[in-house]
Amino acid sequence: MKNFGLIPRLIIAIIAGILTGLYLPESLANVLYTFTEIFGEILTYIVPLIILAFIIPGISELGAKASNLLGKTVLTAYISTIIAGIAAYLVASSLIPLIAPAGEQVAEAQGLSPYIELEIPPIMGIMTALVTSFIFGIGINHLKNEENKLTLYNFMQEVRTIVQFFINRVIIPFLPVHIAGIFADMAAEGTVFRTITMFGPLFVLVIAMHITYLMVMFSLANRLSPKNKVLTSIKSMLPAYTTALGTISSAATIPVTLKSAKTLNVKEKIVDFVVPLGATIHLAGSTIALVSCAVATMILYGEPFTLASFLPFIFMLAIIMIGAPGVPGGAVMAALAPLASILGFTESMQGLMIALYMAQDAFGTACNVTGDGAISIIVDYFHSDSEQEEVSTERAKSGASGN
State residue 104's pLDDT score: 44
pLDDT tens for the chain, 403 residues: list them.
Answer: 444 466 688 788 888 988 998 888 888 899 998 998 898 888 778 878 877 887 777 677 665 544 567 778 888 888 999 999 999 999 999 998 887 644 444 444 456 888 888 888 888 876 677 778 778 887 887 776 555 557 788 888 888 889 878 877 888 788 788 888 888 887 887 777 777 777 788 889 999 999 999 999 999 999 999 999 999 999 999 998 988 876 677 776 877 888 889 899 998 888 888 887 788 778 899 999 999 999 999 988 888 899 999 999 999 888 877 655 555 667 788 788 888 889 999 888 888 888 888 878 888 889 999 999 999 999 999 877 555 544 444 444 445 445 4
HEC string of 101-160? CCCCCCCCCCCCCCCCCCCCCCCCCHHHHHHHHHHHHHHHHHHHHCCCCCHHHHHHHHHH
Euclidean distance between CA atoms 377 and 274, whole angstroms? 10
State residue 294's pLDDT score: 94
Residue 377 and residue 233 in contact, taking contact as beta carbons nearer than 8 Å: yes
Domain ranges of the chain: 2-386
State residue 212's pLDDT score: 95
State residue 392's pLDDT score: 47
3-state secondary structure at position 98: helix
State residue 67's pLDDT score: 57
Of residues 168, 357, 325, 160, the one with CA closest to residue 252: 325
CA atoms in the 13 A half-sphere facing the CB of 115: 9
Residue 283 and residue 211 in contact, taking contact as beta carbons nearer than 8 Å: no
pTM for the full predicted model:
0.74
Euclidean distance between CA atoms 253 and 158, whole angstroms? 22
Euclidean distance between CA atoms 46 and 40, whole angstroms? 10
Of residues 18, 44, 2, 105, the one with CA closest to residue 333: 44
Exposed/middle/buried for 302, CB within 10 Å: 0-12, 13-18, 19+?
middle
State residue 5's pLDDT score: 63
Residue 377 and residue 266 in contact, taking contact as beta carbons nearer than 8 Å: yes
CATH fold for domain 2-386:
Proton glutamate symport protein (1.10.3860)
Euclidean distance between CA atoms 352 and 355, whole angstroms? 5
